[in-house]
Structure 1
């Protein structure tokens, strides 16, 4: 599943946009929502209101999987996030795939209708690292992931809090590399040492 996901993101390059914020600095949209067209969840993507936050009034029924749309199979909307969930998950809620943001991100303003958003992007050449973890506590639509202890992401999960839950990881860059639990921990340790 993780390799399939990597192939999707490599083709789409959408993963380079990690998330969007508004003028107040509030996080609005996750990379997991941005790549929905590549996982063939177009019905959900077309219904999602990008001018509002992921948990706004206009998106809350999508978030909760309760929106009913004439002419669209209910499962096409309510199961859009299924790719991010464990196979035994009883409902769409908590993702097992989180990005690890480490280092500097670029910012670029974009306009959606009359709303200015700031896109936060990975610099070219910086790999995108996705961790598969057992329990994230993060809704799959939520624009929150994991990071090393950094002032910039105070509400994000500290990578040290989920190390024991890591199943595997994939680094998507010039070369795609899958790592098992122990290899992922060694890789994360090497990143920490590189920063010192």
Structure 2
């Protein structure tokens, strides 16, 4: 949530580069925090509500501000994006174990942040990607709820690769890496990321 607030501040200061980096770091931290809270058993009701607020602030509001609010079209699309993220958070529960309903906001945010970094904040491309992410969040398709740090080793390698690249790789490379990671989850949720969930359901 703190990184999301900093991202919002950077967006209002017209520093989209810094705002995007805050969101990418948040994307990587989100996975680690979920695993830590689960293992340490520190998820009371208030903590769950705070997490939802943090997700909305960071992956909803802060991500929407990457679109800019200079023109009426950008501002309107940013509002729609925030509304879609809110809708997604309200109706993510499917009743089916290990699944989400609708694209998780963190992956949509990662796509926008990576696109912003790779295109140097190109508004047209960002608006196109945001429109696509809105559709994925609203379509209510099923996506695997797979804790990366608790599943297959290759998924852990992908996560650790992102963390290592964040510190030691060129900015454009880590942005491309996170974009490919997110797009693979979006377009191939079952083929690539749903294996662990299917195995659990069978057992």
TM-score normalised by L of structure 1: 0.31
Q: Return the TM-score normalized by structure 2.
A: 0.30
Higher helix share: 2
Structure with higher strand content: 1
